[in-house]
Chains A and B, each alone.
Chain A
Amino acid sequence: MERITKEQVRHVAHLARLSVTEEEAATFTEQLDAIIEFAEQLNELETENVEPTTHVLDIHNVLRKDEQRPSLDREEALKNAPDQEGGQVKVPSVLE
């Protein structure tokens, strides 16, 4: 049984903002199918009454006071930006 189709791989690639060629889609379909098949061994385990672990440390809601603090200045913040204009990051058009 196919666990993941080429169409699903294309959809997932779109969600992940990756473009894939026809050839890549075929390879990834095969490889992801094998990995997902491998992952399905987890279904051998009964876990209905098991709590999920998101984190090993018992830390909740680490808060700090909402105080003004120095941050990066504009020049530093823009230092690595591939394109900029007027002190702001520039990107291609967002709306068609």
Chain B
Amino acid sequence: MSILEESFSSIHKKLHNKELKVSELVDASFSRIKEVDEQVQAFLTLNEEAAQNQAKKMDEALGTENTRGLLFGLPAGIKDNIVTSGLRTTCASQLLANFEPVHNATVMDGLEKAEAVTIGKLNMDEFAMGSSNENSGFKNVRNPWNTDYVPGGSSGGAAASVAAGEVSFSLGSDTGGSIRQPASYCGVVGLKPTYGRVSRFGLVAFASSLDQIGPLTKNVEDNALVLGQIAGHCTKDSTSADVDVSDYLSSLTGDVKGLKIAVPKEYLGEGVNEDVRNRLLEALKVLEGEGAVWEEVSLPHSQYAVAAYYLLASSEASANLARFDGVRYGVRAQNADNLIDMYKETRSQGFGDEVKRRIMLGTFALSSGYYDAYYKKAQKVRTLIKQDFDQILEKYDVIIGPTAPTTAFKIGEKVDDPLTMYANDILTIPVNLAGVPAISVPCGFSEGLPVGLQIISRPFEEGTVYRVAHAYEQAAEHNQAKPEL
């Protein structure tokens, strides 16, 4: 087994016992990338020299009394919409092909303090808009389990890099399912924290009321460890919550006796593939075996979530992406006669079709005469969806369903029809609208492709999400299988 497939605790034991050096770990990451990334296409930019220098310094500190960070030496991949000081950050857009941030996102400061090693920046759907990674302005990420298939999106590179054993963990972002859906398609663990749990400072904004950064890992314990290092209040993000960060590791008790699970009938209905439904029912049986109880419930407004989401997220995006105008950064179109033409040419040449489509939808929904009918209506429906969750989570500890209605689909299969593509996120979007935390954990396979189990809980109860995910993972042991590349 490659060292990068091992858990954090196993790697740390080897570092502690001097069976392994940080530089060997970091070298293993780059050589794996050289071996498989031509197929997977998860990375847009590598941080090789800086990472190797950092590793050498860390090796010198090994065995001294210097306090070690909880992510000491672990190779990390970072989604390319999280700004990294001095390291190119493109959001997978041609418009930002040359952008080198002058500061770090708050989460990067967290990783630095925990002594993780940044290996490189990960491919994604342009500005996080997409569910398949086919909207990257550079190249498509491919699913490590079968490279003819999409890895999901928008954090496709973040999920694929972990599944392919290129890094120990990655950071992604989730606006409507962008961590959980690719985690499900690639067979890794991905958490979307409660809105406000992790600072968005330095996350290039897509839809500010929905975006959250979260970790992707091979197992639940590692995931909890990473979250502990990036969560917390941040004065640079006014929507970051001043709520204490719990000790997530202490939640991993393995005990789910008496746990009350709600299973929404809308998450098992039409459009959910039969194998996916069967894997979910098997997973519920595993949790029942551990002493949990489940009941079918209804989240009656689920069917309206996708429509409300596309209006709200696109409206917010149309405002957020106004800043990409070729003035202060980015690739400016040449030969424009005046300022307005320069804006238009820069944006038209720099943005891909999906980004343009969403900016136009959002501009339309916010424009005079349509604001009440579309934008405000969607905000009211968001209230109804949030109330659905509040009511169920008053009576139950967690809501469980599949992460996505199907497994990964073939590259090119849905690319021509935006509405079919949007339907992939039907089970993840409501969670962002409600602002609650949710995880995707592997729960088996359908025709050789991974299926994900989604566990949702109350605001700021990531500990509960992790406890249930961990108990399931330990009882089911699905995370043993590895893709062959």
Using a CB–CB cutoff of 8 Å, the interface residues on chain A facing chain B are 4, 8-9, 12-13, 15-20, 24, 28, 31-32, 34-36, 38-39, 41-45, 47, 50-57, 59, 62, 64, 72, 76-77, 79-83, 89, 91-94, 96
With A8-B364, A56-B434 as known contacts, state yes or no: A32 contacts B195, CB within 8 Å.
Answer: no
- Across the A-B interface, the 9 shortest Cβ-Cβ residue pairs: A56-B435, A52-B379, A80-B329, A82-B332, A47-B380, A62-B238, A19-B344, A17-B343, A53-B382
- Determine if B199 is an interface residue (Cβ-Cβ < 8 Å): no
With A42-B378, A79-B100 as known contacts, state yes or no: A16 contacts B241, CB within 8 Å.
Answer: no
With both chains docked as a complex, state the minimum distance between the C-beta of B56 and any C-beta of chain A, in angstroms.
28
The residues of A that contact B340 with a CB separation of less than 8 Å are 17
* CB pair A57 B241 closer than 8 Å: yes
The residues of B that contact A34 with a CB separation of less than 8 Å are 418-419
Return the contact of B209 from the options A28, A43, A56, A79 (Cβ within 8 A): A56
The residues of A that contact B384 with a CB separation of less than 8 Å are 45, 47, 50
- Determine if B374 is an interface residue (Cβ-Cβ < 8 Å): yes
User: How distant is the Cα of A49 from the Cα of B196 in the complex, in angstroms?
Assistant: 27
User: How distant is the Cα of A72 from the Cα of B101 in the complex, in angstroms?
Assistant: 12
User: How distant is the Cα of A89 from the Cα of B342 in the complex, in angstroms?
Assistant: 14
Among B74-82, B257-265, B345-353, the stretch that binds chain A is B345-353
The residues of B that contact A32 with a CB separation of less than 8 Å are 357, 360-361, 364
- Determine if B337 is an interface residue (Cβ-Cβ < 8 Å): yes
The residues of B that contact A19 with a CB separation of less than 8 Å are 344-345, 348
The residues of B that contact A64 with a CB separation of less than 8 Å are 235
23 residue pairs of the A-B complex, CB under 8 angstroms, read A12-B367, A16-B318, A16-B347, A16-B360, A18-B356, A28-B360, A31-B357, A35-B310, A35-B419, A39-B307, A42-B311, A43-B377, A45-B380, A53-B380, A53-B382, A54-B379, A56-B195, A57-B239, A76-B102, A89-B328, A91-B339, A91-B342, A92-B339
- Determine if B327 is an interface residue (Cβ-Cβ < 8 Å): yes
Q: Which residue of B lies closest to A63 (CB)?
A: B238
Q: Which residue of B lies closest to A75 (CB)?
A: B102
With both chains docked as a complex, state the minimum distance between the C-beta of B218 and any C-beta of chain A, in angstroms.
30
* CB pair B419 A83 closer than 8 Å: no
Return the contact of B238 from the options A44, A45, A59, A89 (Cβ within 8 A): A59
The residues of A that contact B348 with a CB separation of less than 8 Å are 18-20
The A-contacting residues of B in range 303-335, CB under 8 angstroms, are 303-304, 306-308, 310-311, 318, 322, 325-332
* CB pair B344 A17 closer than 8 Å: yes
User: How distant is the Cα of A62 from the Cα of B470 in the complex, in angstroms?
Assistant: 36
The A-contacting residues of B in range 413-444, CB under 8 angstroms, are 418-419, 433-435
With A35-B419, A50-B384, A80-B329 as known contacts, state yes or no: A42 contacts B364, CB within 8 Å.
Answer: no
The residues of B that contact A83 with a CB separation of less than 8 Å are 332
Q: Which residue of B lies closest to A40 (CB)?
A: B307
With A81-B329, A82-B330 as known contacts, state yes or no: A72 contacts B102, CB within 8 Å.
Answer: yes
User: How distant is the Cα of A16 from the Cα of B311 in the complex, in angstroms?
Assistant: 16
* CB pair B418 A31 closer than 8 Å: yes
- Determine if B338 is an interface residue (Cβ-Cβ < 8 Å): yes
Chain A, interface SS category: loop
With both chains docked as a complex, state the minimum distance between the C-beta of B434 and any C-beta of chain A, in angstroms.
7
With both chains docked as a complex, state the minimum distance between the C-beta of A55 and any C-beta of chain B, in angstroms.
5
With both chains docked as a complex, state the minimum distance between the C-beta of A9 and any C-beta of chain B, in angstroms.
7
The residues of B that contact A92 with a CB separation of less than 8 Å are 336-339, 341-342
- Determine if B154 is an interface residue (Cβ-Cβ < 8 Å): no
The residues of B that contact A93 with a CB separation of less than 8 Å are 337-339
User: How distant is the Cα of A28 from the Cα of B354 in the complex, in angstroms?
Assistant: 10
* CB pair B374 A39 closer than 8 Å: yes
User: How distant is the Cα of A77 from the Cα of B392 in the complex, in angstroms?
Assistant: 49
* CB pair A16 B363 closer than 8 Å: yes
* CB pair B363 A15 closer than 8 Å: yes
- Determine if B32 is an interface residue (Cβ-Cβ < 8 Å): no
- Determine if B383 is an interface residue (Cβ-Cβ < 8 Å): yes
* CB pair B364 A12 closer than 8 Å: yes
With both chains docked as a complex, state the minimum distance between the C-beta of B376 and any C-beta of chain A, in angstroms.
6
Q: Which residue of A lies closest to B362 (CB)?
A: A16
With both chains docked as a complex, state the minimum distance between the C-beta of B461 and any C-beta of chain A, in angstroms.
14
User: How distant is the Cα of A51 from the Cα of B100 in the complex, in angstroms?
Assistant: 42
With both chains docked as a complex, state the minimum distance between the C-beta of A30 and any C-beta of chain B, in angstroms.
10
User: How distant is the Cα of A56 from the Cα of B459 in the complex, in angstroms?
Assistant: 10
* CB pair B359 A50 closer than 8 Å: no
User: How distant is the Cα of A76 from the Cα of B103 in the complex, in angstroms?
Assistant: 10
